[in-house]
Amino acid sequence: MLEKSTIYEVARRSGVSTATVSRVMRSGSGFSEPTRQRVLKAAGELGWVPNGSARGLAERRAGIVGLLFPDLGKEADAENESALFLDQVIRGAERAATLAGDAVLIAATSGAAGRELARSVAGKVDGLVVTARSLSGPDLTAIGRSVPIVVIASHTARRKFDLVCSDNHGGAQAVTGHLIEVHDHRELAFIAGPAGSPDSDQRFAGFCQALRTAGLPVPADPLARGDFTEAGGERAMRAVLNRDNRLPRGLVFGNDEMAIGALSVLREYRIRIPSELAITGFDDIASARHLVPSLTTVRQPMRELGEAAVRMLLDRLRDPDSARQTLVLPTSLSVRRSCGCTARTSSARTSSARINKTHSRRTS
Amino acid sequence: MLEKSTIYEVARRSGVSTATVSRVMRSGSGFSEPTRQRVLKAAGELGWVPNGSARGLAERRAGIVGLLFPDLGKEADAENESALFLDQVIRGAERAATLAGDAVLIAATSGAAGRELARSVAGKVDGLVVTARSLSGPDLTAIGRSVPIVVIASHTARRKFDLVCSDNHGGAQAVTGHLIEVHDHRELAFIAGPAGSPDSDQRFAGFCQALRTAGLPVPADPLARGDFTEAGGERAMRAVLNRDNRLPRGLVFGNDEMAIGALSVLREYRIRIPSELAITGFDDIASARHLVPSLTTVRQPMRELGEAAVRMLLDRLRDPDSARQTLVLPTSLSVRRSCGCTARTSSARTSSARINKTHSRRTS
DNA sequence: TTGTAGGCGTTATCAT
DNA sequence: ATGATAACGCCTACAA
Using one digit for the tens of pLDDT, what is the confidence trace for B325-360?
999 999 999 999 999 998 665 666 666 555 554 433
Asked if residue A266 and residue A219 are part of one domain, the reply reads yes
User: Does any domain span residue B260?
Assistant: yes
Give the mutation candidate from B80, B105, B121 for the A interface (greatest A CB count, under 10 A): B105
CB proximity B55–strand C (7 Å threshold): yes
Give mean pLDDT in consecutive 10-residue pieces for chain A, a chain of 364 residues. Answer: 88 95 90 93 95 97 97 58 81 96 94 88 98 90 94 79 96 98 97 93 97 97 94 96 94 96 94 96 88 93 96 96 94 96 68 50 34
Asked if residues B21 and B9 have their Cβ atoms less than 8 Å apart, the reply is no
The DSSP result for B91-148, as a single string, is HHHHHHHHHTT-EEEEEEE-HHHHHHHHHHHHHH-SEEEEETTSS-HHHHHHHHTTS-
- Confidence check: pLDDT of B76 > 70: no
- Confidence check: pLDDT of B23 > 90: yes
Return all residues near B314 (Cβ < 8 A) that are at least 6 apart.
B65, B96, B97, B100, B102, B127
CB proximity B31–strand D (7 Å threshold): yes
d(C-alpha B292, C-alpha B260), whole Å: 10
User: Residue A58 carries which side chain, given as an amino acid letter?
Assistant: A
CB proximity A18–strand C (7 Å threshold): yes
Q: What is the pLDDT of residue A30?
A: 83
Asked if residue B287 and residue B199 are part of one domain, the reply reads yes
Asked if residue A174 and residue A318 are part of one domain, the reply reads no
Distance B314 CA to D4 C1' (A): 35
* pTM, 2 dp: 0.91
Q: What is the pLDDT of residue A55?
A: 97
d(C-alpha A184, C-alpha A207), whole Å: 15
Q: What is the pLDDT of residue A336?
A: 96
User: Does any domain span residue A2?
Assistant: no
CA B124-B129-B135 angle, 5° bins = 90
Give the mutation candidate from B6, B72, B86, B98 for the A interface (greatest A CB count, under 10 A): B98
Compute the mean pLDDT over every residue in chain A, rounded to the nearest whole number: 90
Asked if residue B219 and residue B201 are part of one domain, the reply reads yes
CB proximity A22–strand D (7 Å threshold): yes
Asked if residues B181 and B335 have their Cβ atoms less than 8 Å apart, the reply is no
Asked if residue B283 and residue B251 are part of one domain, the reply reads yes
User: Does any domain span residue A96?
Assistant: yes
Asked if residue B315 and residue B236 are part of one domain, the reply reads no
The stretches of chain B forming alpha helices (DSSP H) are 7-14, 18-26, 33-46, 52-59, 81-99, 111-124, 137-144, 168-181, 198-213, 230-243, 256-268, 287-290, 302-318
User: Does any domain span residue A361?
Assistant: no
User: Does any domain span residue B22?
Assistant: yes
Q: What is the pLDDT of residue B188?
A: 98
CB proximity A57–strand C (7 Å threshold): yes
Domain CATH for A133: 3.40.50.2300
User: Residue B316 carries which side chain, given as an amino acid letter?
Assistant: R
Asked if residue B220 and residue B130 are part of one domain, the reply reads no
Domain of B34?
Answer: 7-50
Q: What is the pLDDT of residue A1?
A: 66
Asked if residue A234 and residue A139 are part of one domain, the reply reads no
User: Does any domain span residue A1?
Assistant: no
CA distances from B195 to A328, A361, B201, B221 (A): 44, 57, 8, 11
Asked if residue B134 and residue B261 are part of one domain, the reply reads no
Q: What is the pLDDT of residue A73?
A: 65
Instruction: Give me Rg for the CA atoms of chain A.
Output: 26
Distance B125 CA to D3 C1' (A): 33
Q: Taking CB atoms and an 8 Å limit, are B3 and A106 in contact across chains?
A: no
Asked if residue B197 and residue B336 are part of one domain, the reply reads yes
Domain CATH for B36: 1.10.260.40
User: Does any domain span residue B315?
Assistant: yes
Residues 110-169 of B with CB under 8 A from A: 117, 119-125, 142-143, 145-148
Asked if residue B172 and residue B76 are part of one domain, the reply reads no
Q: Report the protein residue whose CA lies nearest the C1' of nucleotide D6.
A: B58
Element (H or E) spanning A193, and its range? none
Give the mutation candidate from B49, B292, B313, B316 for the A interface (greatest A CB count, under 10 A): B49
Q: What is the pLDDT of residue A80?
A: 60
User: Does any domain span residue B363?
Assistant: no
Range with lowest mean pLDDT among A273-277, B50-54, B107-111, B120-124 = B107-111
What is the tally of structural domains in chain B? 3
Asked if residue B281 and residue B155 are part of one domain, the reply reads no
Residues 12-51 of B with CB under 8 A from A: 47-51
Asked if residues A193 and A258 have their Cβ atoms less than 8 Å apart, the reply is yes
CB proximity A334–strand C (7 Å threshold): no
> Is B339's Cβ below 8 Å from some Cβ in A?
no
Nucleotides of C under 7 A from a protein CB: 1-5, 7-13
